[in-house]
């Protein structure tokens, strides 16, 4: 998280929000790298699951699908994650990434495996 510049804006059982700078996370054409967007999404959903089930459980992303809607070349992107369902063994998260103006950048779905330590 530190290397990517991810910082928490809101942490709660029903919603997590984190933001990340575009600077330092660009690909060769000077726009936000899709892998950086995916990292932000997986971070929000995985940590969100840990918040809901308890930090003593292990959470591991097992499937991530990201649709990149448009590019961003400056400022920050903000990811808002809400749980679709958090069960005993699996959680599914809806993740929305927007630019500083609130325009959509990406939408993602993350499936997380919940394991005992």
Number of domains in the chain: 1
**How many angstroms separate the CA atoms of 83 and 94, rounded?**
6
Binned at pLDDT 50, 70 and 90, residue 44 comes out as very high
Is residue 2 in a domain?
A: no
Cα 74 to Cα 1, 26, 47, 93: the distances in Å are 19, 9, 26, 27
Residue 114 host element (H or E): strand 104-115
Binned at pLDDT 50, 70 and 90, residue 117 comes out as confident
Is residue 52 in a domain?
A: yes
Is residue 101 in a domain?
A: yes
CATH of the domain at 105: 3.10.129.10
Cα 85 to Cα 35, 44, 64: the distances in Å are 25, 15, 15
For residue 13, the model assigns a pLDDT of 85
Is residue 1 in a domain?
A: no
**Catalytic positions:** 42
Q: Is residue 72 predicted with pLDDT exceeding 90?
A: yes
Is residue 89 in a domain?
A: yes
Domain containing residue 69: 7-115
Per the confidence metrics, is the pTM higher than 0.85? yes
For residue 17, the model assigns a pLDDT of 98
**How many angstroms separate the CA atoms of 46 and 48, rounded?**
5
Average confidence (pLDDT) over 79-98 = 98
Count other Cβ atoms within 10 Å, centred on residue 117: 5
Task: Provide the token pair at 84.
Answer: 């679709």
Q: Tell me: the pLDDT tens digits for 47-68?
A: 999 999 998 999 999 999 999 9
Q: Is residue 87 predicted with pLDDT exceeding 90?
A: yes
């Amino acid at each position: 998280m530190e290397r990517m510049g991810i910082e928490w804006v809101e942490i709660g059982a029903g919603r997590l929000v984190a933001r990340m700078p575009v600077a330092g996370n660009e690909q060769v054409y000077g726009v936000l790298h899709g892998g950086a967007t995916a990292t932000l999404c997986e971070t929000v959903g995985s940590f969100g699951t840990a918040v809901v089930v308890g930090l003593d459980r292990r959470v591991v992303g097992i499937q991530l699908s990201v649709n990149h809607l448009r590019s961003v070349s400056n400022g920050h992107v903000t990811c808002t994650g809400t749980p679709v369902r958090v069960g005993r063994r699996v959680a599914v998260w809806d993740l929305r990434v927007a630019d500083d103006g609130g325009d959509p950048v990406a939408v993602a779905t993350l499936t997380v495996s919940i394991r005992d330590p």
